[in-house]
Amino acid sequence: MEKDENQHTMKQIMSESLQQMPFTDFEDRVMDQIEKKEARKLIWMRHLRLSWVFFIIGSFFGIGLSIYVSYLIPSLPGINPDYITLIIQVLIIGIIALNLESMIRYTREKMYDKAED
């Protein structure tokens, strides 16, 4: 008798603990949000790879251009062509350094976001 009563009490407690979903399509919406988030991650990773590829291509182009400029600059009166070449090289290296720092920071943020999920 006591066992039946305990079972009945336990069933009643368990039935009261059931939670109803807030909306009928709640699970579908959550799964849809997860799928969209994963698709966005894939797009971001593709963009990140392309950013690195074009950064490397641009860096080589800039370095090559700075070397080639020394042959193109004619002698200007009163200005040494080596100074002009040096200024161009410093500008290109500065641009590369700033962009490299930004790319590394951006990559770390995205990798941290990816590891977080």
Write the pLDDT tens digit of every residue in 68-100: 877 776 666 777 777 877 888 888 889 889 888
For residue 9, being part of any structural domain is answered with no
Sign of the C-alpha dihedral computed for residues 79, 84, 90 and 91 taken in this order: positive
For residue 43, being part of any structural domain is answered with yes
For residue 98, being part of any structural domain is answered with yes
Q: Which domain does 106 fall in, by range?
A: 25-116
In the chain, % helix, strand, coil (3-state, to 5) comes to 85, 0, 15
Number of domains in the chain: 1
Nearby residues of 19 by Cβ (< 8 Å), 6 or more positions away: none
DSSP state of 20: -
For residue 33, being part of any structural domain is answered with yes
For residue 12, being part of any structural domain is answered with no
Given a cut of 80, whether residue 62 has pLDDT beyond it is: yes
pTM over 0.75, yes/no: no
